[in-house]
Structure 1
Amino acid sequence: MKTAEFLNFLNNQTSRELIFEYEAGKKIGANYHITEVKNTRIESVDCGGRTDAWNETVIQLWESPAEIDKTEYLTTAKAKNILDRVHSMKPLDLEAEVKFEYGNKSFHTAQLYVQGVKAEKDTLTIALDVNPTLCKAEELCGVNEEKETVAEECCNPGTGCC
């Protein structure tokens, strides 16, 4: 999901509680806060020697131990106000992919992408998921998509991969 699309969801659902589901059936507690918003520029080189670059908006979510018994979630309006304040200070790339950084005692800290959005009467639930790692130079490395294997000669010297 692009940053602009996420902001539009918040604009169109202003009076709802904003809930994040980090795994199927597992929600971030109502005691969460938006603790940081990162404008991230990724510049990469894949194992085939090709370069790439893109921007991401990373919104960090944290559960406050001091508010463990809290039952009311952050509203979409409050979240939008936070992001508007960030945007006025450090403009967000509205075309950048939005990710959410989260972790707790039973879930490793990860950057999660938006898998889906569900608007109900009083809530807006953002379903999150992890992106699996993958070889970005599949054709150079001889990756077989069906078996997810790499040809034996892939990482040998002189193959152009790894």
Structure 2
Amino acid sequence: MKTLSGLLHDLQLQDPSLPLVFETKEGEISPGYHVTELRHSSSRGIDCGGNIEAWQEAKLQLLEGLGATHMSVGKFNSIVSKSLSAMPELKHVSLKVEFGHDNKDLRLMSLSSPEHRGNHVVIRLGSIRAVCKPTETARREEGRIGQCCKREETSANPSSCYSTTKLLESANSCCA
């Protein structure tokens, strides 16, 4: 789990004068990008197995820019440090990035650790996929099948999570 304080720590190990480049599978976020928002939120949800949980998360929103250069590592660190001083609750919660190329189709993305590449520092942004939480929990707890995998489907149009054919065979096929 990447946190804002963890990202700041990793970036403080880099040369502050180097450009910081965010990169998706579609390519680099253009020079002149802007940190539009750092947000903390508390969420509460119920999964397909009926499990209720609560969590906190942070989101870093980036806006593609029209500038000639990428923001420096030092400037980005300054923005993050000031934000953490003003909102310390951002420090230790799961961090995701909100971004869309050409400022369209805003997506939620994961972050890699910063890496020094040539004359800049790169943070790769990755896709996030939906998962069946009971199945993921079952996979972690050896030999146990999650709640959604124990249910029998009676609907004429079974969901992938409750499909008896797929799910009663094994936890590895649930929600796949």
| CA 87–150 in structure 1, closer or farther in 2 if over 3 Å, else same | closer
Structure 1: any 5+ residue segments left out of the alignment? 144-148, 155-162
Identity of aligned residues (%): 24
One-letter amino acid of the structure 2 residue matched with residue 23 of structure 1? K
Higher helix content, 1 or 2: 2
Structure 2: any 5+ residue segments left out of the alignment? 136-145, 151-159, 166-176
One-letter amino acid of the structure 1 residue matched with residue 19 of structure 2? E
Match of 1:142 in 2: 149
Count of residue correspondences? 144
Q: 1:89, CA displacement in angstroms?
A: 1.7
Please give the per-residue CA displacement for 1:53-110, whole angstroms capped at 9, x wherever unaligned.
222221100023xxx2x33100111011111221222224322122111013496311
Q: Give RMSD over aligned pairs.
A: 2.3
Higher strand content, 1 or 2: 1
Match of 2:168 in 1: none
Give me the whole-angstrom Cα distance separating, in 2, the residues matched to 1:122 and 1:105: 25
- The normalised TM-score by structure 1 is 0.78
Match of 1:22 in 2: 24
Runs of 4+ in structure 1 off by over 3 angstroms are none
Match of 1:77 in 2: 74
Q: Which has the higher contact order (CA 8 A, sep 6+)?
A: 1
One-letter amino acid of the structure 2 residue matched with residue 141 of structure 1? C
Match of 2:171 in 1: none
Structure with larger Rg: 2
Give me the whole-angstrom Cα distance separating, in 2, the residues matched to 1:80 and 1:117: 12
One-letter amino acid of the structure 2 residue matched with residue 152 of structure 1? S
Match of 2:107 in 1: 110
Match of 1:158 in 2: none
